[in-house]
Amino acid sequence: MNERAALPLLLVALGGNALLRAGEEGTLAQQFANLAAPVRQLARMARDYRLLITHGNGPQVGNLLLQQESCGEVPRLPLEILVAQTQGQIGYMIESSLDAAFMAEGIADPPPLVSLLSYVVVDAADPAFAHPSKPIGPFYPERPAANFPLIETPRGWRRVVASPEPRTIVEKREIRLLTAQGFIVICCGGGGIPVVREARGFQGIDAVIDKDLASARLAEEVGVELFLIATDVPGAALDFAGPRQRFLRKISAAEARSHLRAGQFAPGSMAPKVEACLRFLAGGGRRALICAVADLEAAVAGDAGTEIVRDES
């Protein structure tokens, strides 16, 4: 066992916006530039923590889907393959950025680093399959003739896919072994490649799992001490985007649950983050934080973000 094994395990879930911000063209150079701030902090934090890094893939998987649909010369690939592709692409970007950050920070002997393709098991009978709700990919000005479900949004028609509950992370054993050895592990990208159990193994399925809920499941299955969700706002707010908006600093799980029930956090964006924090705490976790990608270190120090703590029992 090396000396890193004794360090507490920190999970950081990086929002899709850590790479590709709303309104940007989304070139590779922009994506690398956006990663610099959070990754520089992660490199420094790796001195005090073992790190588990998960990430979103919304914009990237949407772009890949668009590329699939714009080329008729080669067979189209299903969504689970595109999720796998984004795990490779974003894993590579985070790895190479971290390597550069270790050098920039003068960290001569950085921890070993690996990004891992991850499947996440979902239940084929999950009610989410009957009610696809997660919009992905391009906006269509007219309703396209398509063999997939669509919803009409203010900006046009959009494909929707099911977003089932993550049941278990298939690679949890590998992730436990690697983190115990002190590896920094990048995994569960885009919520994981969705699969269902079949007699002889796993079968991929057309769905997109929420990356915050998948991260909470991972945290519970691997045994994480500190759970951090990094996004494009300073934390969870009450009366968000209204004149009385105020960001929450430190709240109990009971308070978070009551704000969640009162509809303070939008479904599909802030609600799953708060839900993920609550699940992490219910599963025995101690501290859960939601913060801006630029504030990782400040949030862990207690100086930024929204912290949700376990209820006194």
| Contact footprint for ligand ADP (CB under 6 A) | 15-17, 56, 231-233, 236-237, 240, 264-266, 269-270
Q: How many CB atoms lie within 10 A of CB 203?
A: 13
Q: Measure the CA–CA gap between 255 and 258, rounded to whole angstroms.
A: 5
- Which residue, 21 or 176, has its beta carbon nearer to ligand ADP? 21
Q: How many CB atoms lie within 10 A of CB 76?
A: 12
Least distance in Å: CB of 147 to ligand ADP?
Answer: 28
- Which residue, 129 or 265, has its beta carbon nearer to ligand ADP? 265
Tell me which amino acid residue 25 is: E
Give the three-state DSSP class for 303.
coil
Least distance in Å: CB of 237 to ligand ADP?
Answer: 4
Quote the tokens at residue 273.
């983050």
Least distance in Å: CB of 142 to ligand ADP?
Answer: 27
Give the active site residue among 34, 62, 134, 305. 134
CA-nearest of 190, 226, 178, 184 to 43 is 184
Cα-only R_g, the chain: 19
Quote the tokens at residue 217.
């499941």
Q: Measure the CA–CA gap between 201 and 199, rounded to whole angstroms.
A: 6
- Which residue, 66 or 266, has its beta carbon nearer to ligand ADP? 266
- Which residue, 254 or 266, has its beta carbon nearer to ligand ADP? 266
List of residues 6+ apart from 243 with CB closer than 8 A: none
Give the active site residue among 57, 137, 273, 305. 273
Least distance in Å: CB of 306 to ligand ADP?
Answer: 8
Give the active site residue among 17, 91, 189, 305. 17
Residue 55 sits at the vertex; the CA angle it makes with 109 and 83, to the nearest 5 degrees, is: 120
- Which residue, 57 or 179, has its beta carbon nearer to ligand ADP? 57
Give the active site residue among 15, 16, 137, 285. 16
Write 258-264 long-range contacts (CB < 8 A, 24+): 264/236, 264/237, 264/238, 264/239, 264/240
In the residue annotation, 273 being an active-site residue is answered as yes
Give the active site residue among 192, 211, 235, 285. 211
Q: Measure the CA–CA gap between 215 and 53, rounded to whole angstroms.
A: 9
Q: Which residue is at the shortest CB distance from ligand ADP?
A: 15
- Which residue, 140 or 240, has its beta carbon nearer to ligand ADP? 240
For residue 180, report the phi and psi dihedrals to the nearest 5 degrees: -60, -30
Q: Pairing mode, if any, of strands 113-115 and 246-247?
A: unpaired
In the residue annotation, 172 being an active-site residue is answered as no
Q: How many helices (H) and strands (E) does the chain have?
A: 8, 17
Which residues belong to the active site?
16-17, 134, 211, 273
